Structure 1
Amino acid sequence: MRVGVLTGGSDCPGLNAVIRAVVRKGVQDYGDGFIGFRDGWRGVLQDDTVVLDIPAVRGTLPRGGTILGSSRTDPLADTDGPDRVRKTLSRHEVDALIVIGGVNTLGAAAVLANQHGVPCVGVPKTIDNDVSATDYTVGFDTAVRVATEAIDRLHTTAESHQRVLVVEVMGRNSGWIAVHAGLAGGANCVLIPEQPFDVNRVCDYIESRFKATYAPIVVVTDSALPQEGEVDLAGLSGIGEWLGREIERRTGYEARTTVLGHIQRGGTPSPFDRWLATRFGLHAIDAVHDGDWGAMVALRGTDIVRVPLAEAVAGLKTVDAARYAENEVFFG
């Protein structure tokens, strides 16, 4: 078979490990040929390709980012998009397309597979871990590790200066990075978009922590909001800086904000992400040869299974109240 591969949406650690596994098993076990599309769906729409073979993927396992490039191009944005996708695949005699992406990239793959007959198999990746039907996505573990290491380092400087340290992490519309890194790093308060927060209650936690002679660490997802609703972030880096200023104003304690930003998405993937990405790639090429179009590989426990792409992108996987309550035990 001739198989196409693309990576779409935001970059994250582990993408190259997926590509490597797909190509290695496809060539060695099935005798496949591979073509990569540059910059996600843009490469398919504009016929921008690169040959993928075993030499092309050697040494890429520990490498961050993606050798294929990525973009947020939506192949469904124009009415002729699906037809252009089919024509590009036909021009290169591509029998199947492995789509490595998050909710939006995989959502497009689901529509193309189910409504336009494009033979797609999906692989879930995103540091946000918000793709439904899989326990973990490629890139999430590395982001949590980076955030946890930052929290560990900030504990000592917070205690040295008796300051409040606010750590803003990514997450888009879900708080998975915050709850995992906050619990692992011993944060004294974790704020996520699923649970609008009471600023006064946050300040109470901070006062309590200082009474115990410890300086507090507050972890906040970049999309979290106070119960009062929208806040004016004009001139500020984001919700973390706003919260730091509010804490200073209401408690009198000095506060500093650290915004981790794209650091969480860059660099070498963790061992777990390399393991997960490799297994996803191996099972994705098997799904191709089974003709399981419109399927996505997913992690359930320690098993790799297949689920319908449409099910996986039907709604975001968010943090429920019970999971958040595990963090609340350690607040204050």
Structure 2
Amino acid sequence: MRVGILTGGGDCPGLNAVIRAAVRKGERAYGDELIGFLDAWDGVRDRRTTPLTVESMRGMLPRGGTVLGTRRGSPFDTPDGVDQVKQTLHDLGIDALMVIGGNGSLSIACRLHSDHGLPVIGVPKTIDNDIEGTDLTFGFTTAVQIATDAIDRLHTTAESHDRVMVVEVMGRHTGWIATHAGIAGGATAVLIPEIPFDIDELCARLTRRHDRGRFASIVVVAEGAEPEPGTLEMEEKIYDRFGHVVLGGVATRIATTIAQRTGFETRVVQLGHVQRGGTPTAFDRVLSTRFGVAAIDAVHEQAWGKMVVLRGDKIELEDLTVAVGKTRTVDRELFDNVASHFFA
């Protein structure tokens, strides 16, 4: 078979490991020819490709980012976008298209299959861990480890100067990274998008710690966290050309308010895209490899409209429709139980 592969949305540690695994099994076990489309859907429309072989993917297992390049956007953005995709697949003799991406990319893949009959297989990818249908997405544990390492380092400087450190991590709609990094890093408080925060309650918690002689505190904030209505005035939201809110800066607003209301010296650390970059953890390398192998197997099973997922310790197939228009939020029982016993 001739199999096309693309990576869409934001970059993520483990993308190259997925591609490598699919190529290795596809070429050696099935005798496939694998073609990479450059820069996501733009590469499909513009017919910008690169051959993917076992030789070309050597050394890619530990490498972050994606050798295919990635960007946001959709063939549905333009009137002739879908027709261009169909024509490209037809003219290049592509028998199947493997789409490695997050909620947006998988939704596009689902629509191309259900509405236009294209032979697609999905591989869920996001550091945010917010895709429905899978217990875990690759890239998440790497992002958590990076954030945890940063928090570990910030503890010592916070303790040396009796400071409050407000650490902003990624998490547009969900607080998976903030929650796990906060637990692993021993944070004083964790603020996530799923639960609006009360700035008065946060300041009171920090003051209680100070009164007990604990002068250093770490507050972990997901970039999409928002205050309870009327409790903290925020700047007017700005949107990008895809309709997404431009995030980043909530930690600065929180830190300024903490300093004003408590008098404690407060500093902000925004980890930003450092969470996306660099070498994937061993766990993510293994999960990515398993996803890649399962995805090429699904191609040969002609399981069109499916995506590979992790359930417990097993890799299974799930309908792409499960992920469309949904966000997998943080388990409230996990958060509340940990918050009540450890965040203080």
- TM-score of the superposition, structure 1-length normalised? 0.97
**AA partner of residue 100 (structure 2):** I
Deviations 1:90-128 (A, max 9, x none): 111000000000000110000001110110000011101
Match of 1:270 among 260, 276, 281: 281
Query: What is the DSSP-based 3-state SS (H/G/I as helix, E as strand, rest coil) of the residue aligned with 1:54?
Result: coil
Q: Please say which of residues 116-125 and 313-322 is displaced more in the overlay.
A: 313-322
**Structure 1 segment 84-95 matched on structure 2, within 5 A:** 84-95=84-95
Deviations 1:143-164 (A, max 9, x none): 0000011111111111110000
Query: What is the DSSP-based 3-state SS (H/G/I as helix, E as strand, rest coil) of the residue aligned with 1:217?
Result: strand
1:8 corresponding residue in structure 2:
8
**AA partner of residue 128 (structure 2):** D
1:261 corresponding residue in structure 2:
272
8 Å CA contact retained: 1:179, 1:327 = no
Query: What is the DSSP-based 3-state SS (H/G/I as helix, E as strand, rest coil) of the residue aligned with 1:63?
Result: coil
Deviations 1:283-317 (A, max 9, x none): 00000000000000000111001000111224010
Please state how far the C-alpha of 1:81 moved relative to its aligned partner. 1.8
Q: Does 1:303 align with 2:314?
A: yes
Counterparts of 2:338 and 2:270, CA distance in 1: 21
Q: Does 1:246 align with 2:249?
A: no
Please state how far the C-alpha of 1:326 moved relative to its aligned partner. 2.7
**Structure 1 segment 28-39 matched on structure 2, within 5 A:** 28-39=28-39
Q: Does 1:161 align with 2:161?
A: yes
Query: What is the DSSP-based 3-state SS (H/G/I as helix, E as strand, rest coil) of the residue aligned with 2:155?
Result: helix
Query: What is the DSSP-based 3-state SS (H/G/I as helix, E as strand, rest coil) of the residue aligned with 2:304?
Result: coil
Counterparts of 1:212 and 1:67, CA distance in 2: 52
8 Å CA contact retained: 2:187, 2:218 = yes
1:106 corresponding residue in structure 2:
106
**Structure 1 segment 279-294 matched on structure 2, within 5 A:** 279-294=290-305
1:53 corresponding residue in structure 2:
53
Please state how far the C-alpha of 1:30 moved relative to its aligned partner. 0.3
Query: What is the DSSP-based 3-state SS (H/G/I as helix, E as strand, rest coil) of the residue aligned with 1:279?
Result: helix
Q: Does 1:83 align with 2:83?
A: yes
Moved over 6 A (4+): none
Counterparts of 2:128 and 2:225, CA distance in 1: 14
1:218 corresponding residue in structure 2:
219
Counterparts of 1:298 and 1:70, CA distance in 2: 22
8 Å CA contact retained: 2:186, 2:343 = no
8 Å CA contact retained: 1:17, 1:61 = yes
Structure 1's unaligned 5+ residue stretches are none
**AA partner of residue 92 (structure 1):** L
Please state how far the C-alpha of 1:233 moved relative to its aligned partner. 6.8
8 Å CA contact retained: 1:190, 1:327 = no
**AA partner of residue 199 (structure 1):** I
Counterparts of 2:13 and 2:58, CA distance in 1: 16
Counterparts of 2:337 and 2:33, CA distance in 1: 48
Query: What is the DSSP-based 3-state SS (H/G/I as helix, E as strand, rest coil) of the residue aligned with 2:55?
Result: helix
2:343 corresponding residue in structure 1:
331
Residues 1:237 and 1:274: Cα distance change in structure 2 (over 3 Å): closer
1:63 corresponding residue in structure 2:
63
Query: What is the DSSP-based 3-state SS (H/G/I as helix, E as strand, rest coil) of the residue aligned with 2:219?
Result: strand
8 Å CA contact retained: 1:178, 1:219 = yes
Query: What is the DSSP-based 3-state SS (H/G/I as helix, E as strand, rest coil) of the residue aligned with 2:74?
Result: coil
Query: What is the DSSP-based 3-state SS (H/G/I as helix, E as strand, rest coil) of the residue aligned with 1:56?
Result: coil
Structure 2's unaligned 5+ residue stretches are 238-246
1:74 corresponding residue in structure 2:
74
**AA partner of residue 147 (structure 1):** A
Counterparts of 1:331 and 1:207, CA distance in 2: 14
Q: Does 1:178 align with 2:189?
A: no
Counterparts of 2:248 and 2:46, CA distance in 1: 36
**AA partner of residue 286 (structure 2):** W
8 Å CA contact retained: 1:205, 1:331 = no
Residues 1:178 and 1:237: Cα distance change in structure 2 (over 3 Å): closer
Aligned residues: 331
Deviations 1:178-214 (A, max 9, x none): 0010011100100001000000100111112222322
**AA partner of residue 247 (structure 1):** I
Counterparts of 2:338 and 2:253, CA distance in 1: 22
Query: What is the DSSP-based 3-state SS (H/G/I as helix, E as strand, rest coil) of the residue aligned with 2:35?
Result: strand
Q: What is the aligned-residue RMSD (CA, Å)?
A: 1.3
Query: What is the DSSP-based 3-state SS (H/G/I as helix, E as strand, rest coil) of the residue aligned with 2:100?
Result: strand
Query: What is the DSSP-based 3-state SS (H/G/I as helix, E as strand, rest coil) of the residue aligned with 1:76?
Result: helix
2:244 corresponding residue in structure 1:
none
Counterparts of 1:78 and 1:228, CA distance in 2: 38
1:194 corresponding residue in structure 2:
194
Identical-pair percentage: 55
**AA partner of residue 262 (structure 2):** T
Please state how far the C-alpha of 1:237 moved relative to its aligned partner. 5.6
Please state how far the C-alpha of 1:228 moved relative to its aligned partner. 2.7
Match of 2:235 among 192, 213, 232: 232
8 Å CA contact retained: 1:127, 1:139 = yes
1:22 corresponding residue in structure 2:
22
2:242 corresponding residue in structure 1:
none
